[in-house]
Amino acid sequence: MSQRVLAERVEIDFTYLSKIENKRVKPPSEKVLKSIATELARELGLDRQKLADELTILGGKVPSDLAITLFKNPQAVSFLRSIGEDVRSPEEWQRLIQSGQSGG
Protein backbone atom coordinates (compact mmCIF):
# COMPACT_ATOMS: atom_id res chain seq x y z
CA MET A 1 0.00 0.00 0.00
CA SER A 2 1.37 3.41 -0.87
CA GLN A 3 1.67 6.28 1.58
CA ARG A 4 -0.95 8.12 -0.42
CA VAL A 5 -3.48 5.27 -0.14
CA LEU A 6 -2.81 4.81 3.58
CA ALA A 7 -3.10 8.54 4.18
CA GLU A 8 -6.44 8.65 2.33
CA ARG A 9 -7.79 5.75 4.36
CA VAL A 10 -6.65 7.34 7.63
CA GLU A 11 -7.86 10.77 6.47
CA ILE A 12 -4.57 12.59 6.87
CA ASP A 13 -2.40 14.35 4.30
CA PHE A 14 0.12 12.00 2.69
CA THR A 15 2.91 14.55 3.22
CA TYR A 16 2.16 14.43 6.94
CA LEU A 17 2.34 10.63 6.84
CA SER A 18 5.70 10.89 5.09
CA LYS A 19 6.96 13.28 7.76
CA ILE A 20 5.80 10.88 10.49
CA GLU A 21 7.58 7.99 8.81
CA ASN A 22 10.78 10.00 8.45
CA LYS A 23 10.59 11.36 12.01
CA ARG A 24 10.42 14.97 10.82
CA VAL A 25 7.39 15.72 13.02
CA LYS A 26 6.40 14.72 16.52
CA PRO A 27 4.49 11.43 16.71
CA PRO A 28 0.79 11.89 16.00
CA SER A 29 -2.04 11.42 18.44
CA GLU A 30 -3.01 7.98 19.66
CA LYS A 31 -6.17 8.28 17.54
CA VAL A 32 -4.14 8.71 14.35
CA LEU A 33 -1.78 5.89 15.36
CA LYS A 34 -4.77 3.59 15.97
CA SER A 35 -6.20 4.49 12.57
CA ILE A 36 -2.88 3.75 10.89
CA ALA A 37 -2.65 0.45 12.79
CA THR A 38 -6.18 -0.50 11.76
CA GLU A 39 -5.45 0.00 8.08
CA LEU A 40 -2.04 -1.68 8.17
CA ALA A 41 -3.38 -4.62 10.19
CA ARG A 42 -6.21 -5.09 7.70
CA GLU A 43 -3.81 -4.93 4.77
CA LEU A 44 -1.18 -7.23 6.31
CA GLY A 45 -3.41 -9.60 8.26
CA LEU A 46 -1.97 -8.56 11.62
CA ASP A 47 -3.54 -8.13 15.05
CA ARG A 48 -4.84 -4.56 15.14
CA GLN A 49 -4.53 -4.07 18.90
CA LYS A 50 -0.95 -5.37 19.06
CA LEU A 51 0.05 -3.16 16.14
CA ALA A 52 -1.71 -0.14 17.64
CA ASP A 53 0.09 -0.71 20.94
CA GLU A 54 3.43 -1.07 19.18
CA LEU A 55 2.94 2.12 17.15
CA THR A 56 1.77 4.01 20.24
CA ILE A 57 4.82 2.89 22.22
CA LEU A 58 7.16 3.66 19.31
CA GLY A 59 5.56 7.10 19.31
CA GLY A 60 6.72 7.54 22.91
CA LYS A 61 3.22 7.29 24.33
CA VAL A 62 1.44 4.96 26.75
CA PRO A 63 -1.78 3.46 25.37
CA SER A 64 -4.62 5.42 26.97
CA ASP A 65 -6.37 2.35 28.41
CA LEU A 66 -3.16 1.42 30.25
CA ALA A 67 -2.66 4.98 31.44
CA ILE A 68 -6.16 4.90 32.93
CA THR A 69 -5.44 1.55 34.62
CA LEU A 70 -2.22 2.90 36.10
CA PHE A 71 -3.95 6.11 37.21
CA LYS A 72 -6.68 4.15 38.98
CA ASN A 73 -4.27 1.62 40.50
CA PRO A 74 -1.15 3.17 42.02
CA GLN A 75 -0.18 -0.28 43.26
CA ALA A 76 0.21 -1.36 39.62
CA VAL A 77 2.81 1.39 39.17
CA SER A 78 4.66 0.20 42.27
CA PHE A 79 4.51 -3.39 41.03
CA LEU A 80 5.91 -2.50 37.61
CA ARG A 81 8.69 -0.49 39.20
CA SER A 82 9.54 -3.34 41.55
CA ILE A 83 9.95 -5.87 38.74
CA GLY A 84 11.30 -3.49 36.11
CA GLU A 85 14.88 -3.84 37.32
CA ASP A 86 14.71 -7.65 37.18
CA VAL A 87 12.81 -8.10 33.93
CA ARG A 88 14.98 -6.79 31.12
CA SER A 89 14.19 -8.72 27.93
CA PRO A 90 11.02 -9.49 25.99
CA GLU A 91 11.59 -13.17 26.77
CA GLU A 92 11.70 -12.46 30.52
CA TRP A 93 8.47 -10.45 30.25
CA GLN A 94 6.85 -13.32 28.34
CA ARG A 95 7.88 -15.83 31.02
CA LEU A 96 6.50 -13.54 33.74
CA ILE A 97 3.21 -13.12 31.89
CA GLN A 98 2.88 -16.85 31.28
CA SER A 99 3.63 -17.70 34.92
CA GLY A 100 0.96 -15.17 36.01
CA GLN A 101 -1.59 -16.68 33.65
CA SER A 102 -0.89 -20.22 34.86
CA GLY A 103 -1.25 -19.15 38.47
CA GLY A 104 2.34 -19.58 39.48
Say how many residues make up the chain.
Answer: 104
Give domain limits for the chain: 1-62, 73-104
* Model confidence pLDDT, tens digit, residues 72-87: 998 988 888 887 777 7
CA distance 65 to 53: 10
* Model confidence pLDDT, tens digit, residues 11-40: 999 999 999 999 999 999 999 999 999 999
3-state DSSP call for residue 94? helix
pLDDT of residue 102 exceeding 80, the answer is no
**Is there a contact between 34 and 23 (Cβ–Cβ < 8 Å)?**
no
* Domain covering 1-62 in this structure, CATH number: 1.10.260
pTM: 0.75
CA distance 27 to 56: 9
3-state DSSP call for residue 86? coil
